[in-house]
Amino acid sequence: MLKRTLVANRGEIACRILRACREAGIEGVAIHAANDSGTLFTELADIAIQLTGEGLAETYLNQNQILEIAIENGCDSIHPGFGFLSERADFAQAVMDAGLIWVGPSPEAITKMGDKMTARITMKKAGVPVIPGEEVDGGIEEVLAVAPSVGYPLLLKATAGGGGKGMRAVHKEEDLESEAKAAMREALNAFGDDRVYVERLLTGSRHIEIQVLADKYGRTIHLGERECSVQRRHQKVFEESPSVALDAELREAMGEAACAAARAVDYEGAGTVEFLVTPTGDFFFLEMNTRIQVEHPVTEMVTGVDLVREQLRIAGGERMSCGDLNMRGHAIEVRLYAEDPANNFLPAIGQLKRFVAPTGPGVRLDTGVREGDAVTPDYDPMLAKLIVWAPSRNEALQRMGRALDEFVVLGCTTNIRFLRELCDNPDVVDGWTTTDMIERLWPDGWSPEMSGLIADAGLLIATACESTNHGKVRISTGGDMSIASPFSMINRRFP
């Protein structure tokens, strides 16, 4: 059993972890930079320690300082959250070498899945389908040499990449060299590693990920899928579970592939295996995130499993608490960003003069900000995650629309109105979302003037979802989706 956990993160995810620690009877230690003093996550902690230094490199990415604070304050474990040091195998190893518990998978698993080419090779050996492409050991000359065999359009991807950095789509041969140099330059700046490899660009595909859990006793399970296709610049903005694109057979096939991927690297803890699903129903391994995901709440809402609590339980040497699971109802998450959709979604800054979150049945808000907080360019522009649950997808869309209508944020430009537009967008309502949707519909950004909203948006949702549920797309979750209540599902434990 863990006794005192240091949270090596900030903001929303630090709040999420600290609350899980409190419920589990674990003392939570927060670390914070000077400009995070007095913020919500520091007040939720049992102990809050200010980091010395300025900038990320000297604070939240300073491994030695974080380890020293953990040891000096009697911590027995470190939870990295997502981002920052969460997928740094060297930090995980340093934590373990210091005699502390790393709340996450082994450094070896992080290394194998963090290097995208190594991950591809490992998945091939495990029998998990990968996107057609070529691993590249050399520099740009080899990239230019293998590209013709992959074919166009193709995607250049940084081997050490993540978050869309070091990625370039190439649609014709004459653009290959310049795009390859740009991808390698960006990869070097972001990751200190300029290696890129080549994959076929699967246009019109869906981005669907499978949540897995694995404990130290040889048990590996999946908890269904999350549909994450609505993205801008490879960053997700709208996620849901289950996906309208999966029936029970495809769900089980992808779930077993995800479990096979986890077993191939002796995975322990919570992880996510991401896939691309083509219009024909073929699926291909994309990557594995060896940490908790930003969008994990939608899985929690439809399964009743507290994934962060399970991370703590597994890291402490216990068995996972959940048994066979059924997905119930439908959950949707949108990411509230401080950004200007009309200015091609560029980040915005300001002070949150008003921040009034929606409430009501089936509504959850994960955030690390409060009214009066300053939004600065120092950190990621995500302000909050708004999550809703309802018995059906139709009702979930309606509930999300209502919640966004109630959400008041003044003092900083946000994407709230754009998110509201998504709830009524015909492609979203019909469930025909793809990874290129935002780029296709709003290539230069979105503004209210180009809104496609109609007066009776509720009628549009009801009509389209009726067509979706009874026509070309079916949702199969292995149970009656109309009978579950969020009040009976949240934090529910399955025997």
Region of residue 266 (left: phi > 0; alpha: psi -120 to 50; beta: else):
left
pLDDT tens track for 198-231: 999 988 899 999 999 999 999 999 999 999 999 9
Residue 164: predicted pLDDT: 74
Cα–Cα distance for residue pair 491/310, rounded to 1 Å: 11
Pair 4, 73: CB distance under 8 Å: yes
Quick check: 474 pLDDT over 70?
no
- Domains in the chain, please, with CATH? 4-103 (3.40.50.20), 132-200 (3.30.1490.20), 206-486 (3.30.470.20)
Averaging pLDDT over each range in 189-198, 239-248, 467-476, which range is the top one?
239-248
Quick check: 486 pLDDT over 80?
no
> Please, what is the Cα angle at 205 between 203 and 211, to 5 degrees?
145
Give the HSE-up count for residue 30: Cα atoms under 13 Å, Cβ half-sphere. Answer: 28
Query: Both tokens of residue 348?
Result: 């915005």
Residue 302: predicted pLDDT: 98
Say how many residues make up the chain: 495
Q: Using 50, 70 and 90 to split pLDDT, how confident is the model at 325? A: confident
Taking all residues of the chain, what is their mean pLDDT, rounded to a whole number?
Answer: 89
Residue 452: predicted pLDDT: 52
Residue 123: predicted pLDDT: 96
pLDDT tens track for 99-135: 999 999 999 999 999 988 899 999 999 999 999 998 8
Residue 116: predicted pLDDT: 86
Residue 23: predicted pLDDT: 97
Q: Quote the percentage of the chain above a pLDDT of 90.
A: 80
pLDDT tens track for 342-395: 999 999 999 999 999 999 999 999 999 999 999 999 999 999 999 999 999 999
How many other C-beta atoms can be found within 10 angstroms of the C-beta atom of residue 172? 8
Quick check: 472 pLDDT over 50?
no
Query: Both tokens of residue 444?
Result: 């230069």
Pairing state of beta strands 339-340 and 269-277?
Answer: unpaired
Three-state secondary structure string covering the chain: CCCEEEECCCHHHHHHHHHHHHHHCCEEEEEECHHHCCCHHHHHCCEEEECCCCHHHHCCCCHHHHHHHHHHCCCCEEECCCCCCCCCHHHHHHHHHCCCEECCCCHHHHHHHHCHHHHHHHHHHHCCCECCEECCCCCHHHHHHHHHHHCCCEEEEEEEEECCEEEEEECCHHHHHHHHHHHHHHHHHHHCCCCEEEEECCCCCEEEEEEEEECCCCCEEEEEEEEEEEEECCEEEEEEECCCCCCHHHHHHHHHHHHHHHHHCCCCEEEEEEEEECCCCCEEEEEEECCCCCCHHHHHHHHCCCHHHHHHHHHCCCCCCCCCCCCCCEEEEEEEECEEHHHCCEECCEECCEEECCCCCCEEEEECCCCCCEECCCCCCEEEEEEEEECCHHHHHHHHHHHHHHCEEECCCCCHHHHHHHHHCHHHHHCCCCCCHHHHHCCCCCCHHHCCCCCCHHHHHHHHHHHHHHCCCCCCCCCCCCCCCHHHHCCCCCC
Q: Quote the percentage of the chain above a pLDDT of 70.
A: 91
pLDDT tens track for 402-416: 999 999 999 999 999
Residue 444: predicted pLDDT: 87
Residue positions annotated with a catalytic role: 291
Query: Both tokens of residue 434?
Result: 């793809």
Query: Both tokens of residue 261?
Result: 């991927």
The neighbouring-strand residues paired with 390 are: 330
User: Which string of b and e fits 429-464 if b means at least 16 CB within 10 Å?
Assistant: bbbbbbbbbbeeebeebbeeeeeeeeeebeebbbeb
pLDDT tens track for 56-84: 999 999 999 999 999 999 999 999 999 99
Burial class of residue 66 (count of CB atoms within 10 Å of its CB; 0-12, 13-18, 19+): buried
pLDDT tens track for 436-471: 999 999 998 998 887 754 333 333 333 333 333 333
Q: Using 50, 70 and 90 to split pLDDT, how confident is the model at 163? A: low
The neighbouring-strand residues paired with 277 are: 206, 283
Phi and psi (nearest 5°) for 180?
-65, -45
- List the single range of 158-167, 250-259, 293-302, 411-420 with lowest mean pLDDT: 158-167
pLDDT tens track for 178-201: 999 999 999 898 888 899 999 999
Averaging pLDDT over each range in 100-104, 134-138, 149-153, which range is the top one?
100-104
Residue 233: predicted pLDDT: 80
Which residue, among 9, 13, 3, has the nearest Cα to 335 in the 3D structure? Answer: 13
